[in-house]
Amino acid sequence: MDNAGTDPARAFETSRLMVLPFNRSRIATVRACQSLKSCSTSQMLVEMHVAIVSGEYPPRWGGIGSVSFHLAASLARRGHQVTVITRKNRGKRAPRQEGVDVIEVGWAPIPMQFTRSYGKKALKALKTLHRQQRVDVVHLLLPLISWTRKQYKTVIRDVAPIVSTLNGSWLGEREGMKLAAKHREAATWKNPNDLAILLTGGWFSRFERSGILESNLCVAISESTKNEFLSRYRPPADWRCEVVRWGVDEKVFHPLDRDDEDMQLQHEETRKQYDSADEAALSAEPDTGTPLLLAVGRLVARKGYRLLLRTMPEILKKNPHAKLVIVGRGHMRKTLLKQAINLGIEKSVFIESSLSFEELAQLYRSADLVIYPSYYEGQGLIPLEAMASGTAVVTVNNGPLPEMVDSSVGSLFSLGDSKDLAMKVNEELAHPQQRRVKGLAGRDKILDIYTYDHNATAYEKLYEDARIS
């Protein structure tokens, strides 16, 4: 899960009644009801203390860091007490959110092995927290924490039931790297983290299996991820796994409002910055002759950037003034710049590695099309951020991505097929008004399904179910 931006902290019904033991730190709140009989179940809310154990949390703005940050905030706004247990970050503290406490623990900065060291420290902190103030449910965000079956049993016995979110898998990551290598992406050995996954992902998958065997309830972030665990991790026949896809921040990622003078000026500056500024583009009209293409995510092999660059010459044949902006950090920057030069497209490609979150959000809404050619995702948040921004998406017809993207909001291409990718991009650019409609449909889809409030509603019920079970 990826997010290439930085600090968004500035920007920013339950289904059944839960009966909890009373103590001085726990107050049951019922919204606008005169009696229990007069309350609908959607009006009732009883506070829980939720401990979110996440190996990423801001200022680590990875995919898991972003979703844990926003889920914590959404739960706190609903009256729950939320404590996040995460890894220490040198020199930077976690941004403060009302109703959210953050406990930072030590960890060994060793690829993959950090999940064990962090897991041990997180377990100790969790026990201490529970002694001080009772925890009602523990929410783990896998796979960035590795516990043994014994450790899971200890937490369930001595602390609280466990809900484990399956954010993809180590075996899936490893297979994604192999698939990327098959399609001539960058060498995995150049990135220590990717190399560690390739060499030790099989061994560390035992801890993911511990999670599916011992958690009270598992939550996959896509149907694809659930099927991946069913096929690769041999869960028991009575394994309970629900599917809840992560949402995005629809307030940060939003379409361009051309009636807002400041927003329009920012749009014009963005288009000029990347030499995509004909009259239609500056007016945010889709029938531009200077289309701006955007790709976002870590600069690693499985994201498919070399495939995207190989596609650009075919795109430029039909759209000679198109520009591609790649936003992300990682070891492949020099490799990609060299490839662009070798392909003779260096004047059409920009790589940004240090954009602010606001600048990234602006790029999403100013772009004509977002392209996401990833070889493996547990879910993939980039297409959702594009849709929230009112921008159509071209992505892979593989894994979880077709669960979110279809012809109503963009296009799908065959994995690893540069000709098909070029054809789909050119088709989208050739039908500007249709592309605008797809962007608006994408925004509607986000508001209907993919927000953090939707996630909080779903997890409230799952927390309750785990406690009852």
Of the chain, the percentage scoring pLDDT greater than 70 comes to 89
Supply the pLDDT for residue 460: 97
Supply the pLDDT for residue 187: 66
Supply the pLDDT for residue 188: 62
Supply the pLDDT for residue 363: 98
User: CA 311, CA 423: separation in Å to the nearest integer?
Assistant: 9
Q: Which residue has the higher pLDDT, 121 or 47?
A: 121
- Weakest-pLDDT range from 245-249, 331-335, 372-376, 433-437: 331-335
- In order of 66, 260, 318, 344, 393, the CA distances from 281 in angstroms are 31, 16, 17, 25, 18
**Over residues 100-106, mean pLDDT:** 97
Tell me: the pLDDT tens digits for 401-451?
999 999 999 999 999 999 999 999 999 999 999 999 999 999 999 999 999
| Fold of the domain spanning 261-449 | Rossmann fold (3.40.50)
**Over residues 345-364, mean pLDDT:** 95
The domain spans of the chain are 28-247+451-468, 261-449
pTM of the model as a whole: 0.89
Tally the residues of the chain: 469
Res. 318: pLDDT tops 90: yes
User: CA 165, CA 221: separation in Å to the nearest integer?
Assistant: 7
User: CA 346, CA 23: separation in Å to the nearest integer?
Assistant: 64
What's the mean pLDDT when you consider all of the chain? 90
**Res. 189 pLDDT band, cuts 50 70 90:** low
Superfamily per CATH, domain 28-247+451-468: Glycogen Phosphorylase B; (3.40.50.2000)
Same fold? 28-247+451-468, 261-449: yes
Q: Which residue has the higher pLDDT, 6 or 76?
A: 76
**Over residues 26-48, mean pLDDT:** 47
**Over residues 460-469, mean pLDDT:** 93
Supply the pLDDT for residue 28: 41
Q: Are 31 and 45 in contact (CB under 8 A)?
A: yes
344 burial level (CB within 10 Å; 0-12, 13-18, 19+): exposed
Supply the pLDDT for residue 61: 86
246 burial level (CB within 10 Å; 0-12, 13-18, 19+): buried
**Over residues 211-235, mean pLDDT:** 97
Supply the pLDDT for residue 93: 87
292 burial level (CB within 10 Å; 0-12, 13-18, 19+): buried
- Weakest-pLDDT range from 12-26, 295-309, 327-341: 12-26
Supply the pLDDT for residue 184: 86
> Coil, helix or strand for 174?
helix
Res. 34: pLDDT tops 60: no
